[in-house]
Amino acid sequence: MISHCTGGGEGVYCGQQDMNHTLRYEPIPASFYTANRDALAARLPAGALVIVHANDIYPTNADGTLAHHQNANLFYLTGIDQEETVLLMRIGENGEHDDTLLLRETNEKIVIWEGARLTEDAATALSGVEDVRWTDVYNALLAEWVPAASSIWLETDNHPRRYTYVQTRNERMAAALRASYPDARTESLYSQLAEMRLVKCDEEMVQLRRACEITGAGFADLLPQVKPGMGEWEIEAILSAAYIRRRARKFSFLPIIASGADTCVLHYNSNHKEVKDGDLILLDIGAEYGGYAGDMTRTIPANGKFSPRQRAVYEAVLRVQRYAMSIMRPGLEKQEYERLVRVNMAAELVQLGLLTQEEVDAQPENPLCVRKYYMHGTSHSLGIDVHDVGSDTKCFAVGQVWTVEPGIYIPAESIGIRLETDVLITENGVGDLIPNAPIEPDDIEAAMAR
Ligand SMILES: [Mn+2]
């Protein structure tokens, strides 16, 4: 089915009237969330009841908790970034729908103890949902609406690489609903919402562009401050300050600040070593802004100057990245793209003396031998989640946002180089969303010399 978003564009910036929200960032217009609910309703049968819950706040120990992280689908449908929120949608004929938002109760007394929570009016201003009530009516509404519905559409997370030992709030509420209403026919919203979220609307591109811009700006801030003897943790601290100062909530994922041999460890994130003269430092970092994730990788010389070998490998990775960006376009199959990048990478690995021409010639169509030095994929989709919906995408299309992140990892030489940027797919190809982060080796060296 065609997305409701035209996709792409420069993004429209809509300043908001003063609203009594609790957000650090500038929210996007409620019309975006209303359009998303309209589009979801148009995909569902008459008589359907949609139920989407917020994520839980996860406990740590004693009275501690992790920070709340909103359910991506609830956020996409409402813009509400608050715990215990529930969206209910009753779907009528021809895509008509009645929406109800349940909020954790607030009043002046609760504010003193627990801090500001959304009022009904603020929630309406953010989400466009007119019918806002407190969560204490949830069971009464289910008792009325579940038996009347032809099917119940529930939030599930079917990401192919998902693994978890704990039940999410949506899973727990779904189990409770099935126990109370064993005759109800339940369906998953996952594929409908994944198709919708894969193509970005102009409004959300404002947030995603800002997340990417902050991600790059923090890196540009960092470059003149890096020197041998510094802790990887100090680099993490500089980036964290640079992001939060620009109204990011936090890193969009655990940052990888890896020096020396650890540049070859793909998911290194203890960031505990001092960087040494002659080391490379691989930074896989991103800022989260307005609920959207930036994701960028740069690799830099700790002492400000690449060695000839480091530079040769760096330039090979950069050429592969440029090649990948040059072929990425609407209509190209994702798997074919990954194959073409492998062919390109194979030639570079031969040039660097890492693979022989014979090894590559034995697999001319699809040189899987590159996996010895390049063992991950080139691109994943990006949005509200860092590894966003759409991992099983067949074809690139206008309005999708992807990372482009080739790398070459040579543990024997303590050289791991990955270069990652984020791109929006347009009619003619791609637009780079992180143009403000230096990537040419000369530009990196010049910035570090300042
Ligand atoms: Mn990435």
pLDDT in tens, 69-107: 999 999 999 999 999 999 999 999 999 999 999 999 988
Distance 381 CA to ligand 1 centre (A): 9
Q: Is the pLDDT of residue 145 over 60?
A: yes
Distance 388 CA to ligand 1 centre (A): 10
Q: Is the pLDDT of residue 18 over 60?
A: no
Contact 328, 429 (CB under 8 A): yes
In this prediction, residue 450 carries a pLDDT of 86
Distance 423 CA to ligand 1 centre (A): 12
Q: Mean pLDDT for the chain?
A: 94
In this prediction, residue 16 carries a pLDDT of 44
In this prediction, residue 17 carries a pLDDT of 44
Q: Is the pLDDT of residue 21 over 80?
A: no
Distance 209 CA to ligand 1 centre (A): 16
In this prediction, residue 111 carries a pLDDT of 86
In this prediction, residue 329 carries a pLDDT of 97
- The CA–CA distances, whole Å, from 26 to 16, 116, 214, 438 equal 7, 17, 14, 27
Contact 55, 168 (CB under 8 A): yes
Query: What confidence category does residue 2 fall into, taking pLDDT thresholds of 50, 70 and 90?
Result: low
DSSP single-letter state for residue 290: T
Nearest to 296 by CA among 187, 173, 433: 433
Contact 408, 352 (CB under 8 A): yes
Distance 313 CA to ligand 1 centre (A): 20
What is the mean predicted confidence (pLDDT) over 27-51? 98
Distance 267 CA to ligand 1 centre (A): 11
Distance 327 CA to ligand 1 centre (A): 19
Query: What confidence category does residue 161 fall into, taking pLDDT thresholds of 50, 70 and 90?
Result: confident
Q: Is the pLDDT of residue 14 over 70?
A: no
CA gap 122, 101 in Å, rounded: 12
CA gap 284, 282 in Å, rounded: 7
Distance 285 CA to ligand 1 centre (A): 9
Distance 45 CA to ligand 1 centre (A): 36
N-terminal to C-terminal alpha carbon distance within the chain: 52
What is the mean predicted confidence (pLDDT) over 357-378? 97
Q: Is the pLDDT of residue 13 over 80?
A: no
The answer to whether the 30-197 and 202-449 domains have the same CATH topology is no
In this prediction, residue 20 carries a pLDDT of 58
Measured in degrees and rounded to the nearest 5, phi and psi for residue 292 equal -115, 150
Nearest to 257 by CA among 313, 210, 218: 218
Distance 296 CA to ligand 1 centre (A): 7
What is the mean predicted confidence (pLDDT) over 236-260? 98
Distance 138 CA to ligand 1 centre (A): 39
Which region among 109-113, 235-239, 266-270, 362-366 has the lowest average model confidence (pLDDT)? Answer: 109-113
- Annotated domain spans of the chain: 30-197, 202-449
Residue 327 DSSP SS3:
helix
pLDDT digits (tens, 9 = 90+) for 173-204: 999 999 999 999 999 999 999 999 999 999 99
CA gap 111, 239 in Å, rounded: 33
Distance 201 CA to ligand 1 centre (A): 21
Query: What confidence category does residue 1 fall into, taking pLDDT thresholds of 50, 70 and 90?
Result: very low
The secondary structure of 345-402 as a DSSP string is HHHHHHHTTSS-HHHHHTSSSS-GGGGGT--S-S--B-SSSSS-S-TT--B--TTBEE
Q: Which CATH architecture has domain 30-197?
A: 3-Layer(aba) Sandwich (3.40)
Distance 403 CA to ligand 1 centre (A): 6
Contact 184, 153 (CB under 8 A): no
Distance 420 CA to ligand 1 centre (A): 7
- The CA–CA distances, whole Å, from 100 to 54, 88, 121, 197 equal 14, 5, 13, 22
Distance 419 CA to ligand 1 centre (A): 10
Distance 405 CA to ligand 1 centre (A): 7
What is the mean predicted confidence (pLDDT) over 245-262? 97
Distance 380 CA to ligand 1 centre (A): 7
Distance 253 CA to ligand 1 centre (A): 10
Name the residues around ion ligand 1, CB cutoff 5 A: 295, 403
Q: Which CATH architecture has domain 202-449?
A: Alpha-Beta Complex (3.90)
